[in-house]
Structure formats: structure tokens, C-alpha cells
Amino acid sequence: MALLIKPLYGGTQLEFYSIAETGWTNCKNRIAPFAAKKPKYTLLFVQGKLAALASAKLLPDEEQRNQLSETDRVQLKPLGDTCLQNQLDLRGYIRDAYPEAEWKSRYEAAGSTKYEKAAKENWEFVEGMNEEMETFIAANVAALTAPGGMPLTFKQKVEDDADDFTDEYLELKTSRQTGTATAAKISANNACYKDLMEMFKDGVEMVYHNNAEAQKEFTYSVIKDIVSPPGAASLSVTVQLPDDSLAGEGAVSIKKEGSPVIRLLLSAANPLLFASIDVARYDVTIEVPGFPALTISKEVNKGVNARLKVKVG
């Protein structure tokens, strides 16, 4: 599998675009001293960098790509459920084929130790469970198919269901990690980031090396605090049950890289409002009793009243 392409910039995409637009505008406004150091700095040059940034913005954004991945997940879940049912059926055939004293060890050899995590949509454990089921059945087919036991067709069913799951899972991983749209978007953003940082370096070290105030106009962290000051964002999270009613129990946690978890309890308050948070990408974890925990990545930007609606089950 191809390597995952990661953003070079911190924070959200919208935040990066705002910082880059501000930085290049500052360069345009001070084009003469830049050109005096490097003749490549012309108004046409700056306009080209702004045009490249605009093109990157037009590529499908993160949430659009996540919708494709979520579609794959929805398609993958019933295939996983079928594999889980195969595991339960296989246990039934084991009970018919072997004495009770051997059931636990036989279950484990047939993949039962992976069932719990597989049932929580840990797809790698579904893959592992399927492999162990296939291996166990192949090694014990005579005992399992004794009269009144496992139908001969079950062996092929387990293999076919495992193949169907693997095919869809590979597609899901491809769309999340190495999809053409994802790679194009992040690569374009990274190219714009490298250009921006090269210009910032010239501005700080060459053009304004003796002017601390002017250097601020070409310092990423300084512009970041201007375009998205700490505490300038919010996120509203709505949690629904399978029947579309609002969940009244559980909790929602959000976490950005390098910061503590913020956790709110679900009760009469649903949706939950995470107010005065920083602009960032957050891992949002939904915990509702009776349902597997679910974690979703969400970008939260300044002044957009970010909302997230999640249905469990």
C-alpha cells in the first residue's frame, strides 16, 4: 500500500489557507524590498502563488472525502456482521463436534478471542477472525461435518463472506489513506505550504532581518494567532439513536493533538456545545451505553458554528 500523505501544516485547512493568503498579501504589499533581495519577487510571481492556493482550495475538502469513506463504512458493516454471525454459527458446530471440556480451546482456535473487538467495528480483528475460522474449519472439517453437524456448504460460505469483506475493506482503506482525491488535495496544500515558508524565510532572514516588527508579517505563528485566536471556535455535537431519537445517556469527548481531552456528559443536553475552543482538528469520541464507541475526525474553524451529527448503532 502507498504511504499515507500527511499535511505539513498544523491546524485546519481553512486556517492554513487564511494564513497563506495573509502572508502572500503582505509580500505583495512589500514587493519592492523583496525584489531588491531576489528579483523573482514580482507582482506576477505573487499572483501565481495566490492562484495556486486558490486551485488547492477548489479540490474536494476533507469532509467531502470523509463522506466517501463513511459510505464505504456503511457498506462494510453488514459484511462484518455476516462474518460475526459465521463465528457464532461455527461455535454451534463446535459444540456438536467436540466434548464440552474442549469447547473453550476450540472456540479460541477458531477466532473467538477476536470476536469482541471485531463486533466493535475493529476491522483488522474481523480480518483476523476470518482467517482463523477458515484455518480451523479446513483442519477439522471431518469432525465438524459429522452427521447432523456443520453443512458442507458452510466452509465455502465462510470463505466467500471473508473474501467479500476483505474486498470492501481494502477499498475503504484505499479511499481513506491513498485515494487519488485525498493525495491530490494534501499534495497541493503541501506545495503551497512549502512556497509560503520559503517566502517567510526570505522575509525574516533577508528582507527584514533587522526589523522585528516587519518580521511579524512573515511569521506563521504570529499570523495564526491573528486569523484564529485561541478560544475563537465552537462545536455542537448531536448524538442520535438508531430510531433517530436523541441519546440521553453517555458522553462525548473531543481532543486535539497535544492537548487534554474535553468531555461532556449526554443527558437532557443533546446536542452538546463545546464553546470557546481552539481552531483545530479534533478526534470526537461518542460513547453511548449499549453501542460501540465511535471516533470521528472533525475540523473546527473560527466563526463557522461547526456542527456534527452522529447516529450510533
**Distance from chain centroid for Cα 60:** 15
Give Cβ neighbours of residue 183 (< 8 Å, ≥ 6 apart): 2, 5
Q: Which domains does the chain have, with CATH numbers?
A: 1-227 (no CATH), 233-311 (2.60.40.180)
Q: What's the alpha-carbon Rg for the chain, to the nearest Å?
A: 27
Q: Which residues of 37-52 are buried (b: 16+ CB within 10 A; e: fewer)?
A: eeeebeeebbeebbeb
Burial class (CB in 10 A: 0-12, 13-18, 19+), 53: buried
Angle subtended at Cα 131 by Cα 125 and Cα 136, rounded to the nearest 5 degrees: 125
**Distance from chain centroid for Cα 70:** 10
Residue 266, CA distances (Å) to 1, 128, 257 in order: 40, 34, 24
Measure the N-to-C terminal CA separation of the chain; round to a whole number of Å. 30
Tens-digit pLDDT profile for residues 113-133: 999 989 988 888 898 899 999
Helices 123-144 and 62-97 cross at an angle (nearest 10°) of 20
What pLDDT, on a 0 to 100 scale, did the predictor assign at position 178? 45
Cα(237)–Cα(172) distance, rounded to whole angstroms? Answer: 25
Give Cβ neighbours of residue 298 (< 8 Å, ≥ 6 apart): 235, 254, 281, 282, 284, 306, 308
Question: Residue 210: how many CA atoms within 13 Å on its side-chain side?
Answer: 0
Residues in the chain predicted with pLDDT less than 50, given as ranges, are 1-2, 63-68, 177-178
Whole-model pTM?
Answer: 0.55
Mean pLDDT of the chain: 87
What is residue 60's three-state secondary structure? coil
Give Cβ neighbours of residue 12 (< 8 Å, ≥ 6 apart): 279, 280, 281, 299, 300, 301
Dihedral pair phi/psi, residue 176, rounded to 5°: -80, -40
Cα(187)–Cα(285) distance, rounded to whole angstroms? Answer: 28
The residue among 70, 97, 173, 81 whose CA lies nearest residue 129 is 81
Q: What nine digits make up the cell of 271?
A: 446536542
The torsion of the CA quartet 144, 145, 147, 150, rounded to 10 degrees, works out to 80
Tens-digit pLDDT profile for residues 156-213: 999 999 988 887 777 666 555 445 566 788 899 999 999 999 999 999 999 999 999 9
What is residue 94's three-state secondary structure? helix
What pLDDT, on a 0 to 100 scale, did the predictor assign at position 171? 67
Q: What nine digits make up the cell of 177?
A: 489513506
What pLDDT, on a 0 to 100 scale, did the predictor assign at position 308? 85
What pLDDT, on a 0 to 100 scale, did the predictor assign at position 71? 59
What pLDDT, on a 0 to 100 scale, did the predictor assign at position 48? 97
